[in-house]
């Protein structure tokens, strides 16, 4: 039995479609799932796990509101750290495997070459610290685990940069997007597929640990926005190709500090699991196709 938390989220939705080929999946979310589970309610986590008795827990739930976390420190810590500690403690006692998603925001972002898994972390925001603390707690729990750091996740549903850009591009004559933050845009479908392939890998228990699971290549938010708008216009999803002007982080003040450079190396993922992630452009093309099909009512 696989218990999937956050099954209604953009990553959870894709995992719920992919994981059943590995065995029975019990979807958990605050509402609208097989079982109700809110990671913010710490007292309910272990009772839910006791009833479900999963052999694998895939934790796709998280507090991801990066700026809001600066004012909601306790909530971010509860969901991203203390809930993960509870999951890890239960899994350790019951010999279950935990798959947990973390983030590029655990790094300081002052590097110039892709971060490897064993490089020091130095989160610069409340969100980043809460995710880093979650990683530390899961390792300390003694549970068998895979910690999968990912970045810049988007999907055809939910709240994400892709959908925001499509909306504002249809509303405005020009856009201004930050060009001095560099990362790895990763589609939820790509992330779910690579997670599935890791879980299906032979001798999985010999491959546990921390991995970077992102698309290959890198770009800025501005470069990502331009790629989104160009593809949307080419597919007839936008009536025109809205110009995107490059600006600096200083010109777009935000409450939380973002890493300037948070590109993640996937060399370990390829070396250990034999998985070569697709480029971020390939992932974007596939997601735009999904979105177009959904908008057109195709099945």
Question: Among this protein's residues, is 261 annotated catalytic?
Answer: no
With beta carbons less than 8 A apart as the criterion, state whether 216 and 266 touch: yes
Write down the H helix ranges in the chain. Answer: 10-18, 42-52, 73-77, 83-94, 126-141, 161-171, 188-199, 221-234, 267-273, 280-295
Helix (H) / strand (E) element for 100: namely strand 97-103
List the structure tokens of 29: 């979310």
Decide: 125 and 81 in contact? Cβ < 8 Å.
no
- From CA 80, how far away is CA 67, in angstroms rounded? 15
Max CA distance (Å), the chain:
57
The CA–CA distances, whole Å, from 208 to 57, 146, 203 equal 14, 5, 10
Marked catalytic residue, from 127, 154, 196, 211: 127
- Read off the tokens for 277: 């992630």
Query: How many DSSP H helices and E strands does the chain contain?
Result: 10, 13
**Count of beta carbons in the 10 Å neighbourhood of residue 110:** 11
- For 44-49, which contacts have Cβ atoms below 8 Å and span 24 or more sequence positions? 45/83, 45/86, 45/87, 45/90, 46/86, 46/89, 46/90, 49/3, 49/87, 49/90, 49/94
First to last CA, the chain: 29
The residues that are catalytic are 127
């Amino acid at each position: 039995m696989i218990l999937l938390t956050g099954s209604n989220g953009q990553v959870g939705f894709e995992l719920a479609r992919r994981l059943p080929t590995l065995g029975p999946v019990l979807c958990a979310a605050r509402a609208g799932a097989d079982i109700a589970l809110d990671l913010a309610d710490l007292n309910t986590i272990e009772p839910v796990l006791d009833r479900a008795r999963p052999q694998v827990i895939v934790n796709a739930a998280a507090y991801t509101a990066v700026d809001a976390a600066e004012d909601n420190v306790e909530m971010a810590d509860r969901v991203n750290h203390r809930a993960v500690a509870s999951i890890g403690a239960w899994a350790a006692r019951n010999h279950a495997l935990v798959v947990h998603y973390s983030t590029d925001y655990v790094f300081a972002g002052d590097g110039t070459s892709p971060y490897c898994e064993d490089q020091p972390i130095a989160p610069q925001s409340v969100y980043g610290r809460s995710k880093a603390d979650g990683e530390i707690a899961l390792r300390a729990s003694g549970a068998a685990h895979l910690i999968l750091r990912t970045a810049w996740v988007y999907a055809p549903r939910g709240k994400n940069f892709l959908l925001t850009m499509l909306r504002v591009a249809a509303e405005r004559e020009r856009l201004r997007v930050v060009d001095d933050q560099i990362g790895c845009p990763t589609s939820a479908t790509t992330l779910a597929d690579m997670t599935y392939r890791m879980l299906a890998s032979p001798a999985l228990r010999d491959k546990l640990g921390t991995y970077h699971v992102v698309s290959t290549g890198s770009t800025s938010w501005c470069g990502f926005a331009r790629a989104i708008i160009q593809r949307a216009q080419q597919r007839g999803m936008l009536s025109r190709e809205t110009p995107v002007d490059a600006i600096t982080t200083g010109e777009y003040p935000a409450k939380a500090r973002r890493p300037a450079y948070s590109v993640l190396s996937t060399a370990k993922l390829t070396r250990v699991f034999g998985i070569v992630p697709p480029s971020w452009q390939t992932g974007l093309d596939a997601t735009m196709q999904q979105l177009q099909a959904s908008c057109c009512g195709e099945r």
